Amino acid sequence: MKPTSQSDYTKRIERVIAAVAASLEQEHALPSVTTLAGIANFSPFHFMRVYRALAGESLGATVQRLRLTRAAHLLAVSSAPISEIAGRVGFETPQAFARAFRQHFGMAPSEARADLAGEAPPAAPHESSQPQPAIRVDVVTLKPFCVVVLRNQGAYVKLNEVYGRLYGWMAVRGALESISGIWGVPHHGRETPEKDWLFDCCLATSAELSAGEGVRPGELGGGEFLRHLHIGSYERFDEVHEALLRDVFGHPQWKLREAPILHEYLNDPEATPESELQTHIYLPIEKSAETSP
């Protein structure tokens, strides 16, 4: 079977964009994320991260751009009131539409209608967020290992406190000596509102412990991962995730597994300068069936 090429992935993203554009043109409800993932033949598990990595912008940014492009067309070729057009392309208020239109095109909707008789203004090009050059990675196998997990919901500013609670929970149970590593599991992407961020704070342990006080035993690892050593601020993790995804799609022998991205923290952020922080980031992969004999 022929391996999947980068151009094939590009065509999948183009199918998603075409589906969104068609929905806007026909004034139908936008397809769900699950539906769009199916159109692109990607798993919903990683779809939002995959889309951003390949398209160079978030799905939300694409939808906004297409809404405004559709609105510009309607302004130029119809006499419908601006408030009506705003609603037809998905904006809740004419004010929100006017702000977004000016930011995107550099002119107010009324100016676009007056200045462009019968022709919509050109869409402003979006800038790709893809970092260059490609990052250094290796392929590793992680055997399954036991962890204790305490989930945090919301902003990351409380993560140190959550890890502190987790260490305290282990101390009460006399299990500090069993800890062999500090891990984290993000369950959200850039587009998720901060209040809905989910992050599992994890400590690898050899102790057999029962759940209690919000802490539960769990298991991480199992299978192959693309691993990158990130040095520096934790705030760049989303960029690294996207670079790793692009690396996967550049190698037809790999494909994503439906498993979470893992972080392994190699030093203490309270005792280490931000520029020297070291984190192993693991992206779950498996051998692509398309490359099998």
Q: Are 112 and 121 in contact (CB under 8 A)?
A: yes
Q: Are 262 and 169 in contact (CB under 8 A)?
A: no
Average pLDDT over residues 273-280: 95
Distance of CA 16 to the CA centre of its chain: 16
Q: Which has more confidence, 1 or 173?
A: 173
Report percent pLDDT > 70 for the chain: 89
**Predicted TM-score (pTM) of this structure:** 0.74
Secondary structure, 3-state, the chain = CCCCCHHHHHHHHHHHHHHHHHHHHHCCCCCCHHHHHHHCCCCCCCHHHHHHHHHCCCHHHHHHHHHHHHHHHHHHHCCCCHHHHHHHCCCCCHHHHHHHHHHHHCCCHHHHHHHCCCCCCCCCCCCCCCCCCCCCCEEEEECCEEEEEEEEECCHHHHHHHHHHHHHHHHHCCCHHHEEEEEEEECCCCCCCHHHCEEEEEEEECCCCCCECCEEEEEECCEEEEEEEEECCHHHHHHHHHHHHHHHHCCCCEEECCCCCEEEECCCCCCCCHHHCEEEEEEEEEECHHHCC
| Euclidean distance between CA atoms 192 and 274, whole angstroms | 25
Q: Which of these ranges, 63-72, 196-205, 252-261, has the smallest mean pLDDT?
A: 252-261
Whether residue 20 has pLDDT greater than 90: yes
Average pLDDT over residues 154-170: 91
- Name which of 135, 155, 125 is nearest 239 in CA terms: 135
Whether residue 1 has pLDDT greater than 80: no
| Euclidean distance between CA atoms 52 and 76, whole angstroms | 31
Return mean pLDDT, the chain.
Answer: 87
- 54 — pLDDT class (breaks 50, 70, 90): confident
- pLDDT value at residue 133: 45
Q: What is the pLDDT of residues 192-250, one digit of tens each?
A: 888 889 999 999 999 999 999 999 999 999 999 999 999 999 989 988 998 888 888 87
Domains and CATH numbers, the chain: 6-115 (1.10.10.60), 138-291 (3.20.80.10)
| Euclidean distance between CA atoms 256 and 43, whole angstroms | 9
- 131 — pLDDT class (breaks 50, 70, 90): very low
Whether residue 285 has pLDDT greater than 60: yes
Whether residue 2 has pLDDT greater than 50: no
Average pLDDT over residues 135-148: 93
- Dihedral sign of CA atoms 8, 13, 14, 16 in order: positive
* Long-range contacts, 39-42 (Cβ 8 Å, 24+): 39/12, 39/15, 40/12, 40/13, 40/15, 40/16, 41/12, 42/12
Whether residue 42 has pLDDT greater than 90: no
Average pLDDT over residues 260-284: 93
